[in-house]
Amino acid sequence: MLKYLVQVFILSHVVASKKHPEPYYGTKIGPLVEFAHGIKGTAYAVDETTIFIKGFSYDGTGPDAFFWIGNSPRPSPEGTFIPYPEDYHEREPPVLKAHNNSDIILRLPMGKRIRDIRWLSVWCRRFTVDFGEVFIPPNLEVPKPRVLPEFKRLAHGLRSDNISILDAKTFYIPNLHYDGAGPDAYFWVGNGTEPTAFGYKVPNELGSLEPLRGYLGEDIEIQLPGTLTVYDIDWLAVWCVQFRHNFGHVMIPKDLDVPPALGQTKISPPWWYNPTTTTTAQPAPTNCREFLDKRLQVKWIMKGDHVEITLSARISEDKYIAFGLSGGNNKAQMIGADVTIAYFDKDERSFRAEDYYISHASQCDGKSGVCPDERIGGRNDVTVLHGERHNGITTIKYSKPLHTNEAINDRPIPDNEPVSIIAAFGPLNSRKEANAHTYKDRLDTDVQINFSDMNDHQCTLSLDNMPEDGVLAWPQSKIIGDNTFYVKIGPTGGNKGYPKITGMPSWGICYYINDKLIPELTVERGQTYTFVVEAGESSSNPARFHPIYITDSNEGAYAQLSKDKQRKQQIYAGVGYGADGKAYPMTTGRYCEWTHKSIDKSAESDTFEDFMKTLRLECDEGEPAYLNWTVPMDAPDLLYYQCFIHSNLGWKIHIVDPGYISEQNGRTANKATGKSLPIGISLISLATIIQTILHRRQ
């Protein structure tokens, strides 16, 4: 994967801190002692799970050499590889190549920490020879991330959980909420006792300097730009540049001692994020199934004598995903099950997968219950290959052997026939072991998987549409056959509305058309449609100014885009251009909003219709705006109605060929009456189309 390719760091990218002698690479472990093949370099502890080797050299002539770690008294065959470089696709890393004064980042595998090992060696496995080594001093003080308070909640619904400084350039902001309504807001850093206009923009989690979109409880990482480090700033804020308005901030303490920023903190767009298109990138063609109301996605592929399994779910950081072989044939049974418990360890900031055996449906008491194999005299046969957490979704890929030599704790994975599996979500206890899960969070019917299958693709959701805690969206409403669309503003319907329906973030309000929540519209090419828009008329009140326009963008917010981005967006209606060539919105009318009679009742409302009963319409004085749109004959099949100012208020318009809608209506009417369709209707609609086209030509 691309993000792992950058392994060797150029000195100028190394960022020093004020506190330490420059340049700072972490706590010094010591020089590598050479026994053979020109081994050189100095090792540093960057953080609990990362070692940096400055100036590594090796002649590359050993036949079977690896970076090797262990906790025996001296380097020995009782060790483990460090997966280096990280982008290999085999079961083992490739044999170590020659290096001449390279800077190397080594991430310890399988959640191992520096305190768990006694030495690092360049080790030739075939001949069990130590080419060079360094010992980890006992009680080595390793730089650690620093936990800060949360964002102050000053405006626009900005809030978060406690923010962490992961390293000298990287912030981790969990559970970030922001309504996205600031017209020109950014992450912003600077000096002084509180945020001011003298500051620097910080790119968002995707590395972009666009104005911030809305966030709905996402966990993100952002990195300071250029040579700035956390030692150079006094605060991190969300700041509106245009109106010099602080939406909330957190102060950075002066007594920091955090890991250096050598690039060990992975920051990269999620693998399904594809900046050039808006469609979801398809993952590699492994097998895929969804379980637990589509809340758990399991991908697998058999490779020789082991199987690689990827689990993805939208779960909070204190939860685990359990997946494995059922304890009984043809039924979902916990007792006797051999499962893997996978989770994100938020304290260590690493991903874990542990082999469990379930002898009783109770918490592990050290002998029986739901126990890690390692606690009952067995071995953890599961290896974590990859883990990531983005937008609240945890994805962990691990490898498990089909057969082990532990007859008691491990059930063999059959390599040519289906087997019953079980799956669950649940909370971790304080030992980070699996606690009991609720009935709703476990598979209770028999499901079988043939692990040797090559072609079992039953997944229907992309990861970002994955529901949380089993809350399903209200059904998508549709408008087909109407020619007039009454556009107003209303609440997004919490966890059942806009974000679930669209899979995109929302900031609390969205369009209601003909009193439906972001309906999908269907329109015919050549037909004229009228939008009666009551979504605000004054740009001086941005929170109540949402002029609609028609575009090919699934986010909208044309006004916020850079010139380059604007050129990429095609506009179909609702936008005028001034003498200076500047775009302005034409659909400015009075403001009407559906508001909560009391508080948001979306969680208690089974249907959108129930929810509507908890709303009341409030309108300002004034007139609506009218937009008449004749759909061009060459319009693409999918367009969107969106807000000219803010992103993510609207949704889809399906464009169909002339006659399609009346044909559909005819078909349903036909079904209902059981009579055949009179030919006259299609002739009439054909006449209308021709008329419309002629009308447009004039």
Ligand X SMILES: *[C@@H]1O[C@H](CO)[C@@H](O)[C@H](O)[C@H]1NC(C)=O
**Shortest Cβ distance from residue 367 to ligand X (Å)?**
33
How near is the Cβ of 319 to ligand X at its closest, in Å? 17
C-beta of 17 vs 404, nearer to ligand X: 17
Min CB(453)–ligand X separation in Å: 5
Cα separation of 655 and 571, whole Å?
15
CB of residue 199 vs ligand X: minimum separation in angstroms? Answer: 7
Handedness of CA 381, 354, 391, 195 (dihedral sign): negative
Residue 100 or 562 with smaller CB distance to ligand X: 100
Copy the structure tokens of residue 656. 């169909």
DSSP 341: E
Residue 31 C-beta: closest distance to ligand X, Å: 18
- Which spans in 255-348 are helix H? none
Q: Which residue, chain included where needed, has tokens 């969990």?
A: 174
- Closest CB 530 distance from ligand X, rounded Å: 5
- Of 103, 86, 124, 105, the C-alpha closest to 2 is 86
CB of 200 to ligand X, least distance (A): 6
Identity of the residue, 417 or 634, whose beta carbon is nearer to ligand X in the bound complex: 417
Cα separation, 624 vs 632, in Å, equals: 25
User: Any idea what DSSP says for residue 612?
Assistant: H
Q: Which is nearer to ligand X, 353 or 625 (CB)?
A: 625
Q: Cβ 626 to ligand X, closest distance in Å?
A: 5
**Closer to ligand X by Cβ: residue 203 or 269:** 203
Which residue type sits at 360?
H
Give the pairing of strands 319-325 and 338-345.
Answer: antiparallel
Residue 232 beta carbon to ligand X: minimum distance, rounded to whole angstroms: 4
Closest to 502 (Cα-Cα) out of 607, 641, 604: 641
Considering beta carbons, is residue 71 or 162 the nearer one to ligand X? 162
Alpha-carbon gap, residue 390 to 438, rounded angstroms: 25
List interacting residues with ligand X (CB under 6 A).
100, 147, 149, 162, 190-191, 200, 232-233, 416-418, 450, 452-454, 530, 626, 628
Instruction: Provide the 8-state DSSP code for 661.
Output: H
Across 277-295, b (16+ Cβ under 10 Å) vs e yields: eeeeeebeebbbbbbbeeb
* DSSP labels, 70-119: E-SSS--SS-EE---STT--SSSPPPPPPEEEEEEEEEPSTT--GGG-SE
Residue 139 or 416 with smaller CB distance to ligand X: 416
**What is the smallest separation between the CB atom of 233 and ligand X, expressed in angstroms?**
5
Closest separation between CB of residue 465 and ligand X, Å?
Answer: 28
Evaluated on CA atoms 591, 597, 599, 601, the torsion sign reads negative
Q: Which is nearer to ligand X, 76 or 162 (CB)?
A: 162
Query: Contact 539/545 with Cβ under 8 angstroms?
Result: yes
Instruction: Identify whether the C-beta of residue 400 lies closer than 8 Å to the C-beta of residue 340.
Output: yes
Which residue, among 591, 652, 606, 612, has the nearest Cα to 491 in the 3D structure?
612
21 versus 680: smaller Cβ distance to ligand X: 21
By beta-carbon proximity to ligand X, the closer residue of 184 and 415 is 415
SS3 12: helix
Query: 149 or 470, CB closer to ligand X?
Result: 149
